[in-house]
Amino acid sequence: MEPQVADRDLLVSAQTGSGKTVAYGLTMAQSLMGDGSELPPPGIPMALVVAPTRELAIQVHRELSWLYQDARGRIASCIGGMDPRQESRALAAGCHIVVGTPGRLRDHIERGRLVLADLRVVVLDEADEMLNLGFREDIEFILESMPKTRRTLLFSATIPPDISALAKRYQSNSLRIDTIDRSQPHRDIEYLAVRVATNQIEPAIVNLLRFYEARSTMIFCHTREAVRHLHARLAERGFVTVALSGELSQAERNRALQSLREGSARVCVATDVAARGIDLPGLELVIHADLPSDRDTLLHRSGRTGRAGRQGRCVLLVPFNRRRKAESLIVQARIDVIWSSPPFPEDVRQADENRLLQTAASTEPVSDDDQKLAEQLASQYSPIDVARTLVRLYRIPLASAEEVSDWGSADDDRRQKPDRVRPDKRERQKREYLDQGAPTAKSFRPTGPMALFRLNVGRKNNADPKWILPVVCRVGRVQKKDIGSIKIGEDETFFEVTQEVAESFAAAIKSGGHGENVHIQPAAGTLKDIRKSADRLERPPLKNGPKAYSEKPPRKNKKFSGPKPN
């Protein structure tokens, strides 16, 4: 240990996944053991570690137990959601280090179960998150309850003014250590920004899971309701999925994390409760189903992958109406992002084929029984029959890919700093039109030659451009800017498509996939002719001849209400 670090208070800013737990575990050892190799007999605690979330506290408890195993260290936990009676018995039996969450630690201190009279070191892990979660009062109570002579080690991913004020108040002659090179992004994480239609978030997630087939994936949502909904939808599609949110009991949250660690579950849908401190070995993919609210949330969510030197991948799903928000987050986080379209079904199929070929080319040794079975198959069936069966068995458990669209283009370079100039009114209206799909402004409709198509739904079927336009774009594999005017009739709907994409649109609608009761087919003529014929059919009969609508109604006599003015 460096001489300037020994026996001093520390204010450390460290990147998530950089091994903070082991770092402060070793730093505490000097204060707890001195020059000895073992800890003294357990009694009242000599060290206290405060963590913001249950999951982080459990992880710290596990790592410190491993780190101090040879030194005969006894680690107790005081964590919200766990059995307080069992914790009381562990404290009464004696321990060296206590790990806990702020609320539960304060409760034990107030009840006299946790005595801090002999405390030598206190560690505040993820201190910025504890303040964000509203634990300031609990933290101050805990710090006020311990001896003034203790060492205070404060670890935080960022050092905002609140953390600086806390360090100034409760630390003495502290040493500031910054392990983060803020001019460089996290080099172990590849960041992707995927352009996706506003109503196609879930299909894009399905295709991403199928395209990468990561060993384990974490998907972040803003709310508990969004977690429940997405978890149910993915489970319906055949993905082995667990959920993680604040509404679950601690036992349920522990089981979910254990399923991911063991590999029995491959996907975890979570709120930001899982964005801090949780270490999942082998987590290869992080998907932001909802864009993070700020830079710190982006970095902490993404930091669940690419830990301890492993490579990871982080995907931000960016709807059109959230593009500027995404660009702002990317600039603030100083990360390099590759913009792309979502994986299309043909991309997923190609990825499946590549994985199957790699599996078939594997040279791993097999057991004698497997070797005999392989030889028996080769003697009884032709190679093409065996290969055909292998392909069929490989595809059976795989979820089918979804049809998705892309609001941008492959050549759209969004990696530059976003334009801070506020767009004019016309530009904003155009964006709203393209995003909402309501063709109301004639000036935004495409110009030039158009092709006419017919949809077999009308006003009787509650036809509306808000749902017709996404269906047409999805089935025809075109963008909203390629769709012209729409005319909704009583039993059918006519719409225009630009001549440039009409041929590919016609080929796409022949392949089906419209829906159970929705069918699209080419139509003859132009939309102008359709409107004229509709006007003639819907025009009411004239009353009293052609002059009926030009005659003025008889003028009523006004009642005299007083003398005329001079």
* Nearest CA among 45, 50, 73, 47 for reference residue 60: 50
DSSP 442: G
- Which residues neighbour 359 within 8 Å (Cβ) at sequence distance 6 or greater? 394
Q: Which residue has the higher pLDDT, 100 or 160?
A: 100
C-alpha to C-alpha distances, 480 to 403, 408, 468, 496, nearest whole angstrom: 15, 11, 11, 11
- In SS3 terms, 76-103 reads as EEECCCCCHHHHHHHHHHCECEEEECHH
Answer with the one of 131, 157, 178 that is the final residue of a domain: 178
Question: How far is the C-alpha of 134 from the C-alpha of 119, rounded, in Å?
Answer: 25
- 547 has a pLDDT exceeding 60: no
Q: For residue 8, which amino acid is it? A: R
Domain residues for the domain of 470 are 425-538
Q: How confident is the model at residue 44 (pLDDT cuts 50, 70, 90)?
A: very high
Shared domain for 29 and 166, answered yes or no, is yes
Which of the pair, 179 or 244, is modelled with greater confidence? 244
Contact 115, 143 (CB under 8 A): no
Is pTM beyond 0.75? Reply is no
Assigned domain for 361 exists? no
Share of the chain above pLDDT 90, in %: 32
Residue 441's pLDDT is what? 42
Please check whether residues 32 and 172 belong to one and the same domain. yes
How many independent structural domains does the chain possess?
Answer: 3
User: Based on the domain organization, do 164 and 277 belong to the same domain?
Assistant: no
CATH of the domain at 434: 3.30.70.330
Asked whether residue 195 falls in the same domain as residue 135, the answer is: no
Note whether residue 544 is domain-resident. no
| Residue 281 domain flag | yes
CA distances from 11 to 151, 165, 174 (A): 11, 12, 6
Mean pLDDT of 150-167: 85
pLDDT for residue 257 is more than 80: yes
For residue 190, the model assigns a pLDDT of 92
20-34, 56-70, 395-409: range with highest mean pLDDT: 56-70
Retrieve residue 347's tokens.
């991309």
pLDDT digits (tens, 9 = 90+) for 339-355: 999 999 999 999 998 88
pLDDT digits (tens, 9 = 90+) for 230-243: 999 999 888 999 99
Distance CA 432, CA 485 (A): 17
In a domain? residue 51: yes
Q: Which CATH number is 330's domain given? A: 3.40.50.300
Q: Are residues 278 and 202 in the same domain?
A: yes
More confidently predicted of 131 and 207: 207
**Does residue 474 lie within any of the structural domains?**
yes
- What integer is the mean pLDDT of 422-437? 50
Are 464 and 506 found together in one domain? Answer: yes
Contact, 518 vs 563, CB < 8 A?
no
160 or 294, higher pLDDT:
294
Contact predicate 271/298, CB 8 Å: no
Mean of pLDDT over the chain: 81
| pLDDT confidence of residue 164 | 86
Angle at 286 between CA 306 and CA 265, to 5 degrees: 100
Q: Are residues 158 and 14 in the same domain?
A: yes
Both 168 and 197 in a single domain? no
Is 295 in the same domain as 172? no
Task: Decide if 526 is inside a domain.
Answer: yes
Residue closest to 99 by CA, chosen among 149, 65, 139: 65
Residue that is written with structure tokens 């899982």 in the block:
274
Residues 193, 86 within the same domain: no
pLDDT tens readout for residues 389-402: 888 888 888 888 88
pLDDT for residue 523: 87
Same domain, yes or no, for 341 and 196? yes
Answer yes or no: is 351 within a domain: no
* 445 and 534 co-located in one domain: yes
Q: Tokens for 427, please give them.
A: 């530009």
Of 159, 178, 197, the residue at which a domain comes to its end is 178
Q: Is the pLDDT of residue 86 over 70?
A: yes
Q: Of 148, 178, 208, which closes a domain?
A: 178
Residue 444 has pLDDT above 90, yes or no: no
Q: What is the DSSP letter of 155?
A: E
Each residue of 87-107: pLDDT tens digit? Answer: 999 999 999 999 999 999 999
- The answer to the question of residue 392 being in a domain is no
